[in-house]
Chain A
Amino acid sequence: MSYLENNLRTVPTGPTKLLYLNWPIVLLLATVASVGFLMLYSVAGGSLEPWAEPQMKRFALGLTVMIAAAMVPVWFWRNVSGLAYGVSLLLLLLVEFHGTTGMGAQRWIDLGIIRLQPSELMKITLVMMLAAYYDWLDIGKTSRPLWVIIPLFLIALPTYLVLRQPDLGTSILLVTGGGIIMFLAGVSWWYFVGVVGAGVGAVTAVFSSRGTDWQLIKDYQFRRIDTFLDPASDPLGAGYHITQSKIALGSGGWTGRGFMQGTQSRLNFLPEKHTDFIFTTLAEEFGFVGAFSLLSLYVAVVFFCVVSAIANRDRFGSLVTLGIGATFFLFFAVNMAMVMGLAPVVGVPLPLVSYGGSAMLVLLLGFGIAQSAHVHRPRTR
């Protein structure tokens, strides 16, 4: 037990733990969430309804969940990692049969209070599972083929289920997030070279499957890729979203068109402006200054995660913090790249800003675990 090998007496206990939270991250997350409230207020035409107020309530709940999770000793989280992963997997299987279809994909389980997206939960539990796995694994075995295949399998299982929903965005996040943990754990560079090669092969396979009986992804996903590669080919059809998004973003200029003055969002030229495309509205109304500031806030969150992880001598704590940070990074990077026309439209929300309950709750739970790792990190006198 790695944490027993360190001096437990240095770990804070009781309410004093609150003082040892990674407060910069808490404040940064709260700031980012506030930007979200502002934008949700704006896209609703200057109204707390229907998005801003529920989002605030959810963030309050999420903040509570995060602090509560941070109070729980990190070894508990390590011990339940396997269980959490298993439950997430079960839930994914459940939506396969009983899920509610939203936006053409089976994603939700209605739990009465909230509608849970198991795929969201899986993003965090996969990180926990892999962190726990490498915490357990003998360091010398890290790069041995058998012990590389096991985490690959752990990643592939949920990815396959998510892909079947179908949710291309989340599958990409799962694979990339999982790969990052393996990379951090010290898996040999050669495997990654191999994976890149295999990736090229996979992409080729996906594209060559188009129009055949064994087509690997849905037609609409192919169309989105086509649109990404050449948005101008279909400006009023599938390319409409990305074209309008780029117009809105670019027209923001240096300082934007002013709060609630964005013509593109106000006149409904933007699609899904309260969810996946909310960054576009921000960029239109607050310009380069606003957009770059939000990007800086996100980068700062990731930076504090990396600093916390490097300072943490506990392997699980370090990996889980980096994993959560990396997942967070992937969220906003993919979303921003998407609305700026650098990536295909795959349906990844902007973390803490896009309207959506379960994604925010799960993300804050993840940060709670990272905070727990921070609070309960081994300390030497």
Chain B
Amino acid sequence: MNRSPKDLDTSRRRIARRAVILGGLQLGGAGILGWRMRQMQVEQADAFRMLAEENRINMRLIAPPRGLIFDRNGIPLAENAQNYRIVIVREDAGDVDEAIEKLKKLIEIDPMDLERAHRELARRSPFVPVTLTDQRSWEDVALIAVNAPALPGITPDVGLTRNYPLAEDYAHIVGYVGPVSDYDLSRMDDDDPLLQIPKFQIGKTGVEQKYERRLRGKAGARQIEVNAAGRVMRELGRDDGVPGDSIQLTVESRLQNFVEARLGLNESASAVVMDPRNGDLLAVGNAPSFDPNRFVRGISVDGYQELTGNRYRPLGNKAVQGAYPPGSTFKMMVSLAALDAGLLKPEDRFYCGGHTQLGNRRFHCWKRGGHGWVDLEKSLEQSCDVYYYELAQRVGIDRIAATARRFGIGQQMDLPMSAVTAGVMPDRDWIRERYDQSWRVGDSLNAAIGQGYVLASPLQLAVMTSRIATGTRIEPRLVKMVGGVEQAPRGLEPLGFDENHLRVIRDGMHAVSNSARGTAYRSRIDADGRIMAGKTGTSQVRSVVVNNQDVPWEERDHALFVGYAPYDAPSVAVSVVVEHGGGGSSTAAPVARDILLYALYGTLPPLDSYPPEQRGDIETLQSSLTLRQDFRPGNRLSRA
């Protein structure tokens, strides 16, 4: 093909012209790229740098060790035990199934645990350790370590978990911890980042729950660099946090153990042992009990249903949550109210013919034949009901209620335990608000013998007894020391009742267990300087009195006893309630006596502190108790 030079020239110029245009466009394009670089790398560099840092730096929380709980002698009640786990890392194991098969030949593994581990292995990144089984023994760990070469990717690992060495004894006082739940989070109003850790253990009941904030400590943090897959590359910084505060309780573990064991001889019972001089709760017993460690490790559904379905309510802290009609143990309140109001002299007498007639209703004394002429001391000694029917009409419910409240009945006690009940101390205002009714004289008669609307917890009864014994406003104290700071006793000042009136009441209580006609004479203490004073109570569950042996357990009377010892220098006060136990004198009084004696001696009492004719039976009883022997020595905390 021929082309003229002119054509070629035209073509060349056209190409050159368009090449310049193209070059210009390309330069423009490059300019946009350069401008974009400047915009991102110079103007917005700081923002992007921050995003890059956020990408790479993760904060991992470090859970601080939870504060420990000790008894008054420094014996550990709640501690952080080493929890030996066996973990597997997928990428190190190679064939996971083969490694697990080999492991199963060495140690036994719960199939449920394995199933869960398999699910987790499938979900997690290959470098994340997955727990195969936990709560293993040290022997298992050693076995794994020795066989490590044959078990690729499987390693023993140790973490901390809560352990309650005295198990059942402190289930209701110390409570237990468990993994934090959504419900806990919604309820607690607590923005502690520790709570966001999956399965983080928080106190669920008892002291563990009430002192949660102090026991938990402050979260530490680890700054780590992670890659895009979340693998930890290195640690950039670390703050270990602050361990939780330790707590020392006022409870004495040997006594607590004895109380639990002694109460355990009945179906369902509770007791509170208190030092009336400073309010220290020496024991808070509930029977039956349960092992709180089961909750920490994760209780099975069956196990839980067995506990909740038990008619003796092992989960309940009946000593502080249970509200019972106090029965005759309430009679001290009525007589004190009368004495204080000046409406009664100790020597005033009423005639008990077996019942009091009020309109067309008859109010019976427990003794159908009547007590004859009864003065104040005799009314307590023999627990005459008619005497108090008369007093109630003379004094009126409002005075009785005011007095009882000063002794703690119907009062909310400030104690770090779950669901502490205030009980009920009714009066005219109360019945108007509660039932929109007016108070009737009959109600006063029922209240005067601790029946009807009156409800009190064993704790309140113990406080009442302590206040009678000392004449002070003493308040119960469960926690002796928090984080090394002593918690001062409260209520050491006088209650404000005439000491002469109180002495009359104490004399009556002395007669109950020391005079041959006293209702608790059989349960007297026969040791010099350890004489017991007390009061029995039998509170009806049903209105018709029948023989307790003939009705089902749920319909039998509650047996109560309150008392203190030594009579002349009270150092221990006790209240015992045996649910549906029958009579206070036959069932509750012996329990209270055994507890008082144990508290006074600090160990199983010698047989000669019991009346001679009972020593044989007592010996049998003592040997039938299984008492804990494995108390670990108390640690460096102050000893009481």
Residues of chain A having any CB pair with chain B under 8 Å: 2, 5, 136, 138-140, 180, 183-186, 244, 246-254, 263-264, 267-269, 283, 287-288, 291-292, 295, 298-299, 302-303, 306, 309-310, 313, 315, 318-319, 322, 326, 329, 333, 336-337, 340, 342
Contacts and interface: CB of A to CB of B under 8 A. Distances in A.
B37 A302 contact: no
A183 B23 CA distance: 12
Given A288-B37, A295-B34, A319-B15, A247 B42 contact: no
A268 B11 contact: no
Q: Which of A2, A136, A139, A319 has the most CB of B within 10 A?
A: A139
Contacts of B16: 310
B41 A283 contact: yes
Contacts of B636: none
Contacts of B546: none
Contacts of A337: 33, 36
Nearest to B33: A336
Given A315-B11, A342-B32, A184 B19 contact: yes
Contact of A267 (B20, B33, B49, B227): B227
A254 B42 contact: yes
Contacts of B604: none
A247 B36 CA distance: 14
9 contacts: A139-B11, A268-B229, A295-B33, A299-B30, A302-B23, A310-B16, A315-B12, A315-B15, A337-B33
Interface string B196-239: 00000000000000000000000000000111110001000000
A79 to B, nearest CB: 14
B419 interface: no
B45 A309 contact: no
B1 interface: yes
Nearest to A342: B36
A288 B42 CA distance: 7
A299 B27 contact: yes
A14 B353 CA distance: 147
Interface string B37-51: 110111011011101
Ranked nearest first, the 9 interchain pairs of A and B with the lowest CB-CB distance are A250-B48, A251-B52, A267-B227, A288-B41, A253-B45, A268-B228, A251-B49, A306-B23, A250-B40
Given A244-B228, A246-B40, 8 more contacts: A253-B49, A269-B55, A292-B34, A295-B33, A309-B15, A310-B20, A315-B12, A318-B15
B37 A340 contact: yes
A139 B226 contact: no
Interface residues on B, range: 35 or more
B15 A253 contact: no
B34 to A, nearest CB: 6
Contacts of B40: 246, 249-250, 340
A263 B37 contact: no
Contact of B10 (A139, A183, A249, A263): A139
A309 B23 CA distance: 11
B3 interface: yes
B44 A250 contact: yes
Contacts of A139: 3, 7, 10-11
B56 interface: yes
A372 to B, nearest CB: 18
B52 A318 contact: no
A2 B38 CA distance: 46
Nearest to B2: A5
Nearest to A337: B33
Contacts of A309: 15, 19
Contacts of A322: 15, 19, 22
Contacts of B3: 2, 5, 138-139
Nearest to B12: A313
A253 B229 CA distance: 25
B49 A302 contact: no
Contacts of A183: 18, 22
A246 B7 CA distance: 51
B8 A5 contact: yes
B15 A249 contact: no
B33 A340 contact: yes
A376 to B, nearest CB: 16
Interface in B483-537: none
A281 B3 CA distance: 52
Given A251-B48, A263-B55, A313-B8, A329 B26 contact: yes
A64 to B, nearest CB: 29
Contacts of A326: 22, 26
A2 B7 CA distance: 11
A69 B52 CA distance: 46
B628 interface: no
Nearest to B51: A247
B60 interface: no
